[in-house]
Amino acid sequence: MVTGEEDIRVGIQAMKHGASDYLLKPMQLDVLSLSVERALAVKRMELELESYRQSLEEAIEGRTHQLEAAMRRIEMTYDETLEALGAALDLRDTETAGHSKRVCRYCLEMATAMSRPKDELKHIMRGSYLHDIGKIGIPDAILLKEGKLTSEEMTIMQSHVRIGYDLVSRIAFLAPAAAIVLTHQEKWDGTGYPQGLVGDEIPMGARIFTIADTLDAMTSDRPYRKALTFSVAREEIIRFAGKQFDPEIVNLFCSLPEERWETIRLDLKLPRLGEGLARPSHPSVSPRVIRPVRRGESRAATN
Ligand SMILES: [Fe+2]
């Protein structure tokens, strides 16, 4: 800015509007030349900074893509590891082959409909899939025994929740799912094991799990009976709301279309987490009124 006005306020105004310098008339060539050189130096620095910023942004974007791809690969490896663990258990306990996968899918269905956070969905899926992993530590003579278990054998059998918890809680990416493994045999009214937790004391994932577990146990063939229909299983689950199951989750379970469970049952493939999470949530349906279980009524079948 070159001016005849010798007023500091004019100078300040000019700089505020982007002038790099403020020169007074009459013009002196050497002063002007110096000023222009300074202005050019500043401009060059600005351009360099801008190009550095751009290349930095590109580098960060590239690295972010690489990191995301690596995370996806790790997640896939996690899920493959889980499938291998589950398959190892299925090899020993063939009666329940496919049970873990179906229970996992049923849990995901309910937890998604409950709008649980994505991270929790992941842990619920993993915990429900591995719920019986502790049975790996139960002797064949007990695990595969056809007759009724003695009380000692029952105690050993029940230790599968602790064995499973000890196994899973030591693996960092599975640690948050370990709570479900430990508490998957707890019941809403406190009559479950190993701690006899009551109501909300039982982790949400385990409360969802018990419904999914019963649903699958009842709709699967057993040596002593044929698979029951989903309608029968549903009625049984409703009967034990408030006793074995969290009544609110039973309400939610009943609000979901029955055909959905049959579709899941037919599709045995365990979804990769991304696939499962990407599915749209359900339209809400008004919940049914739940009749609490009466004294003396037998429990719903569980696995
Ligand atoms: Fe179990």
Which one, of 119, 132, 133, lies nearest residue 176 by Cα? Answer: 119
| Residue 7 Cα to ligand 1 middle (Å) | 87
Distance between Cα 185 and ligand 1 center (Å): 6
DSSP for 47-72? HHHHHHHHHHHHHHHHHHHHHHHHHH
Query: How many angstroms separate the CA atoms of 19 and 39, rounded?
Result: 9
**Distance (Å) from CA 179 to ligand 1 centroid:** 13
Which band of pLDDT confidence, cut at 50, 70 and 90, is reported for residue 303? very low
151 or 268, which is more confident = 151
Q: How confident is the model at residue 96 (pLDDT cuts 50, 70, 90)?
A: low
48/292: higher pLDDT: 48
Q: What is the pLDDT confidence band of residue 295, given thresholds at 50, 70 and 90?
A: very low
d(CA 145, CA 143): 6
More confident residue, 286 or 98: 98
pLDDT value of position 289: 40
Kindly report the average pLDDT of the chain as a whole number. 86
Tokens encoding 206: 């385990």
Alpha helices in 199-290 (DSSP H): 204-218, 230-239, 247-255, 258-266, 273-278
Residue 197 Cα to ligand 1 middle (Å): 16
Provide the percentage of residues in the chain whose pLDDT is more than 90. Answer: 57
- Cα 161 to middle of ligand 1, angstroms: 6
- 145: which residues sit within 8 A by CB, 6+ positions away? 153
Confidence of residue 83 (pLDDT cuts 50, 70, 90): confident
Distance from C-alpha of 199 to C-alpha of 300, rounded to nearest angstrom: 17
Average pLDDT over residues 103-110: 94
- Ligand 1 center from residue 34 Cα (angstroms): 84
* Ligand 1 mean position, distance from CA 164 (Å): 9
Q: How far is the CA of 135 from the centre of ligand 1 (A)?
A: 8
The answer, yes or no, to whether the previous bond of 26 is cis (omega within 30 of 0) is: yes
pLDDT given for residue 284 in this prediction: 38
pLDDT over 70 at 158, yes or no:
yes
Q: How far is the CA of 146 from the centre of ligand 1 (A)?
A: 17
Min mean pLDDT across 5-14, 46-55, 85-94, 96-105 is at: 85-94
- pLDDT tens-place string over residues 233-291: 999 999 999 999 999 999 999 999 999 998 888 886 555 544 444 343 443 334 344 44
Q: What whole-number distance in Å separates Cα of residue 188 and Cα of residue 84? A: 31
Minimum mean pLDDT range among 70-84, 103-117, 121-135, 154-168 = 70-84
Distance between Cα 244 and ligand 1 center (Å): 15
**What average pLDDT does this structure show over 22-35?**
89
pLDDT surpassing 90 at residue 53: yes
Q: Are 126 and 82 in contact (CB under 8 A)?
A: yes
CA of 129 to the centre of ligand 1 (A): 11
| C-alpha 163 – ligand 1 centre gap (Å) | 11
- Residue 59 pLDDT level (bands cut at 50, 70, 90): very high
Strand duo 23-24 + 2-3: pairing? parallel
**Tokens in use for 75?**
């997640």
301 secondary structure, DSSP code: P
Residue 241 DSSP SS3: strand
Give distance in angstroms: CA of 233 to centre of ligand 1.
Answer: 19
Environment class of residue 221 by beta-carbon count within 10 Å: exposed (0-12), middle (13-18) or buried (19+)? exposed
Range 160-175 average pLDDT: 92
Q: Is 122 helix (H, G, I), strand (E, B) or coil?
A: helix
**Percentage of the chain lying above the pLDDT 70 cut:** 87
Q: How many CB atoms lie within 10 A of CB 269?
A: 8
- The alpha carbon of 128 and the centre of ligand 1 are apart by a number of angstroms equal to 10
Q: How far is the CA of 274 from the centre of ligand 1 (A)?
A: 27
Tens of pLDDT, residue by residue over 201-222, are 999 999 999 999 999 999 988 8
Q: List all residues 6 or more positions away from 67 whose beta carbon is below 8 Å from its beta carbon.
A: none
Q: Is 101 exposed, middle or buried (0-12, 13-18, 19+ CB in 10 A)?
A: buried
Q: Are 153 and 142 in contact (CB under 8 A)?
A: yes
**What average pLDDT does the segment 58-66 reach?**
95
Q: Is the pLDDT of residue 293 over 80?
A: no
Positive or negative torsion for Cα 255, 258, 261, 264: negative
Q: Which range, of 121-135, 224-238, 257-271, averages the lowest pLDDT?
A: 257-271
Alpha carbon of 213 to ligand 1 centroid (Å): 9
Confidence of residue 139 (pLDDT cuts 50, 70, 90): very high
User: Could you tell me how far CA 124 lies from the centroid of its own chain?
Assistant: 6
Ligand 1 centre from 254 Cα, in Å? 24
